[in-house]
Amino acid sequence: MKKVSVALFDFDGTLFNGHTLDGIVRYSITHRYRVSSLLGYLVRHSLLYPLRKCKLISNERFLASWGQDLAFIVSGLKQKEATRLFSWIAEEYVLGRLRPDIIDILRHHQNQGQMVALLSGTFSELLEIVGQRLGISYVVGTRLEMVNGEYSGKIVSPFCFGINKVKSFKELVKASQLEIDFNNSFAYSDSISDIPLLEMVGNPVAAYPDKQLCHLALQRGWQLIRNNK
């Protein structure tokens, strides 16, 4: 079987200038949907900031907690109801904040016949909607648990973050019976948490990177895409 090269794109902060949580907050306020529950979620998780700053919990655990617990937002919803929620976030928040230069790069990879995939800790349901809008067939995200036709408010472990993002992608590759030429593949991310993803390919790109990733990319001579300010 012939090996194919891939172009892997992180979602929040890389493909678009924003964060899924912000989109959910906007949906909640606009539709008066679970506002008090969302406020409680924000307050509880904000209390973790001092623990992270004092290094009493790792940055990975801190970020994973935010992502995993956010699944409460669809608890009790049926698939069609959750689709409406995620469609609103995609249309009213994400798509208007796409980074034009990153989309141009994505289109270039598509025009070259390369496999393009979105990889994110964001919920798969949202990624699939955005993927459809952009003509991306492969998405790897955090899966939401369904019980008796309704979302339970929990995720299907593991949370698609850090090394688990790489493992989840490799599971997709295996299930799709693909042979990947990782040495000639590309990965784009803005976050230091995606080091395992960036190290997996021969062409890692730090796209609008956070401070830690920017420093590491300069050390390693990786390609950088950032604001010229």
pLDDT digits 0-9 by tens, 75-108:
999 999 999 999 999 999 999 999 999 999 999 9
**Helix or strand or coil: residue 189?**
strand
Mean pLDDT over each residue of the chain, to the nearest integer: 91
- The answer to whether the beta carbons of residues 227 and 206 sit under 8 Å apart is no
- pLDDT class of 57 with cuts at 50, 70, 90: low
- The answer to whether the beta carbons of residues 78 and 150 sit under 8 Å apart is yes
User: Rounded CA gap, 114 and 179, in Å?
Assistant: 13
pLDDT at 41: 84
- Tell whether the model's pLDDT for residue 146 goes beyond 90: yes
* Percentage of the chain modeled with pLDDT above 70: 92
Give residue-wise pLDDT tens across range 164-202. 999 999 999 999 999 999 999 999 999 999 999 999 999
- The answer to whether the beta carbons of residues 224 and 206 sit under 8 Å apart is yes
- pLDDT class of 53 with cuts at 50, 70, 90: low
pLDDT at 82: 96
Please check whether residue 1 lies inside any domain of the structure: no
- Tell whether the model's pLDDT for residue 58 goes beyond 70: no
Mean pLDDT of 149-160: 93
Number of independent structural domains in the chain: 1
pLDDT at 49: 66
User: Rounded CA gap, 155 and 17, in Å?
Assistant: 25
Q: Which residues form the domain of 88? A: 6-225
* Percentage of the chain modeled with pLDDT above 90: 79
pLDDT at 3: 86
Helices (H) and strands (E) in the chain, counts: 10, 7
Residue indicated by tokens 């995609």: 90
Q: What is the pTM of this model?
A: 0.92
- Tell whether the model's pLDDT for residue 1 goes beyond 80: no
Q: Say what angle helices 35-46 and 20-31 make with each other, to 10 degrees.
A: 150
Please check whether residue 208 lies inside any domain of the structure: yes
- Tell whether the model's pLDDT for residue 161 goes beyond 70: yes
Please check whether residue 25 lies inside any domain of the structure: yes
CATH code where residue 47 lies? 3.40.50.1000
